């Protein structure tokens, strides 16, 4: 195991300890965009929205998930996918945006935060923070939203 791998294993352990009680849905990705750890809030959100309790996202490509959502024209997904690509390719150290994630029962808005941990650790942290409905977004119709006005 190379030094990059041991640093990643240590960081994954620290991620699990630090974010196990955090309210944001958080995941740790490797430098290729693959999920290597998630916190309980991430897994709980999945179960609340139709994933089986035993389903584990670890090992799946978050990059491919974002790409598929972008190709399906999910609101905000294209901006999220491009932002993740920029962080993976070190074109920017972090990316953040506000996006809708409504369910049949409620209107939900989140702030997506993607931040590289390089060069010290070969990993990327992804967090989805729940928000109250942003006033500037609530005045726009769902059909007008594309995420481009909220990316930073």
pLDDT of the residue at 87: 96
Under the banding of pLDDT at 50, 70 and 90, the label for residue 142 is very low
Question: How does the average pLDDT of the chain come out, rounded?
Answer: 78
* Residue that wins the pLDDT comparison between 51 and 145: 51
**End-to-end CA, the chain:** 37
Q: Domain extents for the chain?
A: 3-144
Across 119-148, average pLDDT: 65
3-state secondary structure of 88: helix
pLDDT of the residue at 107: 86
pLDDT of the residue at 77: 94
Under the banding of pLDDT at 50, 70 and 90, the label for residue 147 is very low
CATH of 3-144 among 3.30.450.20, 3.10.20.30, 3.40.47.10, 3.30.420.40: 3.30.450.20
Burial status of residue 51 (CB atoms within 10 A of its CB: 0-12, 13-18, 19 or more): middle
3-state secondary structure of 25: strand
Q: What would the pLDDT profile of 6-61 be if each residue is shown by its tens digit?
A: 776 676 666 665 666 666 888 999 999 999 988 888 777 665 666 666 666 888 99
- Per-residue CA distances from 87 to 48, 70, 80, 130 (Å): 29, 17, 11, 22
3-state secondary structure of 124: strand
Q: Which of 34-38, 61-65, 74-78, 130-134 has the lowest mean pLDDT?
A: 130-134
User: At residue 62, does pLDDT exceed 90?
Assistant: yes
């Amino acid at each position: 195991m190379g030094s990059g791998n041991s640093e990643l294993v240590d960081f994954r352990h620290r991620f699990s300890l630090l974010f196990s009680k955090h309210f944001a849905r958080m995941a740790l990705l490797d430098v290729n965009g693959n999920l290597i750890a998630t916190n309980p809030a991430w897994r709980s959100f999945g179960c609340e929205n139709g994933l089986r309790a035993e389903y584990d996202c670890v090992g799946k490509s978050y990059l491919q998930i974002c790409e598929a959502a972008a190709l399906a024209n999910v609101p905000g997904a294209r901006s999220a996918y491009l932002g993740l690509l920029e962080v993976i390719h070190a074109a920017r150290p972090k990316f953040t945006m506000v996006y809708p994630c409504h369910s049949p029962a409620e209107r939900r808005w989140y702030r997506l935060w993607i931040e590289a941990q390089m060069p010290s650790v070969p990993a990327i942290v992804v967090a989805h923070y729940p928000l109250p409905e942003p006033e500037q977004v609530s005045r726009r119709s769902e059909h007008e939203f594309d995420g481009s006005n909220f990316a930073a």
